Structure 1
């Protein structure tokens, strides 16, 4: 399970409207749509490994993860793919040829800054604020893309990880650039006073009371 990051944005209604789909949910694909095709709800790991081999996708930068990927790829066989796996494999190669990404998740990690779309989103009645959760990180590239579309609008972002006090802060965008920011430093680099400050900040963003446990 990922750590869930709560994100809150405050901006003009026209910006919020540009990020919300017909169902009323914040949808990153409106800001940065996947240019390929992938009509399956789940991704076959066998198909993805074969596509990574054929497309020459580099191993992960983390040595431990790279070692695991290399081991998995060394055992991958085209003959092990079931019919649907094979169709996914072919479509991933088509996607990579077209846009450089195998599937939506591959695209999302690089372009949205998080592997999934927004979850549990809500929009204020006046449509000047929106909040939603994302896996592991704040989707800053999405906000930058929207900010570039509305260069005159100011977008204020507030976010906090469920790992209270870490991976949290605020920043303001204008024309795709950060014009103001106050971001928590790594936990190990904080003083005790800073840790207390950012923990209080994260609790407020998450809407958790001081007596709730960090579970």
Structure 2
């Protein structure tokens, strides 16, 4: 399971509404849309491995992960794919040819900066929205949103469930991040900074501090 990052956005109402789909949900696809097709709810690992091998995509820079990917790709066998895995494999090739991405999750990681769409979301009042994302805040979405509304000031505060790490504030305007204050690596921070960012993260998350952190 990922670490969940809580995002709180303050912006003019029309900016917030640009994120909302017909179902009334915050949807990053309203800003950056995947132009391929992938009608499945999940990705089969064997289909993805086969597609990566055929497309000769680069492996991870991480030695262990890269080694595992090379091993998996060297052993893939199209004849052993189930019918549904084969259909996914074929659709991944079609998507990559059309869009440069195999499937919607592949697209999301690159285009949105986060693995999935907004979760556990709410529009608390006009101009204020809150939602969770996996592992990181969706900076590319807000850069694009800021390009669409160049005169608007968009303020975003985010905080990881790893309290005090991966958190901060970023302000967007004119298609750029015009200011940002973000936590450093936990082990490189002073005790005062650790306490500061812990307090910040608890506020953004809406959680009460742990008793030993009071």
TM-score, length of structure 1 as denominator length: 0.96
**Cα offset for 1:194?**
0.4
Aligned counterparts of 2:87 and 2:209: Cα–Cα separation in 1 = 51
State the alpha-carbon separation in 2 of the partners of residues 36 and 66 from structure 1. Answer: 27
Residues 15-67 of structure 1 show CA distances to partners (whole Å, capped at 9, x for unaligned) of 10000112221101001000111111111111111000111111012222111
- Measure, in 2, the Cα distance between the counterparts of 1:139 and 1:70: 30
Aligned residue for 2:61? Answer: 61
- Where 2:158 maps in the other structure, the secondary structure is strand
Q: Which residue of 2 is the match for residue 157 of structure 1?
A: 156
Structure 2 matches for 1:121-136, cutoff 5 A? 121-125=121-125, 127-136=126-135
SS of residue paired to 1:61 = coil
After superposition, give the CA deviation of every residue in 1:59-81 in whole Å (9 maximum; x if it has no partner): 01222211111111122111111
Report the 3-state secondary structure (helix = DSSP H, G, I; strand = E; otherwise coil) of the residue aligned with 2:169: strand
Please list every run of at least 4 consecutive aligned residues from structure 1 whose deviation after the TM superposition is greater than 3 angstroms: 211-214
Q: How many Å apart are 1:212 and its aligned residue? A: 6.2
Give the Cα–Cα distance (whole angstroms) in 1 for the partners of residues 200 and 99 of structure 2: 40
2:101 pairs with 1:101:
yes
Q: Secondary structure at the match of 2:92?
A: helix
Question: Which whole-Å deviations, capped at 9, do the CAs of 1:134-187 have from their partners, x for residues lacking one?
Answer: 000011011111111111111001000000000000010002211111111111
2:209 match? 210
Counterpart residue number, 1:194: 193
Q: Distance in 2 between matches of 1:206 and 1:212?
A: 16
Mind listing any 5+ residue stretches in structure 1 that lack a counterpart?
A: none
| 1:213 CA drift (Å) | 8.2
What secondary structure, in the 3-state scheme, does the structure 2 residue paired with 1:115 have? coil
Q: SS at the partner of 1:102?
A: coil
Per-residue CA shift, 1:111-132, capped at 9, x if unaligned? 100110000110023x201000
2:160 counterpart of 1:166 = no
Aligned to 1:3: 3
Deviation at 1:211, TM superposition (A): 3.3
- Is the counterpart of residue 84 in structure 1 residue 84 in structure 2? yes
1:212–1:45: structure 2 CA closer, same or farther, 3 Å change rule? farther
Q: Does 2:24 match 1:19?
A: no
Q: Equivalents in 2 of 1:23, 1:39: separation in Å?
A: 18
Q: What is the root-mean-square deviation in Å for CA atoms of aligned residues?
A: 1.3
* Residues 83/212 of structure 1: CA separation in 2 closer, same or farther (3 Å cut): farther
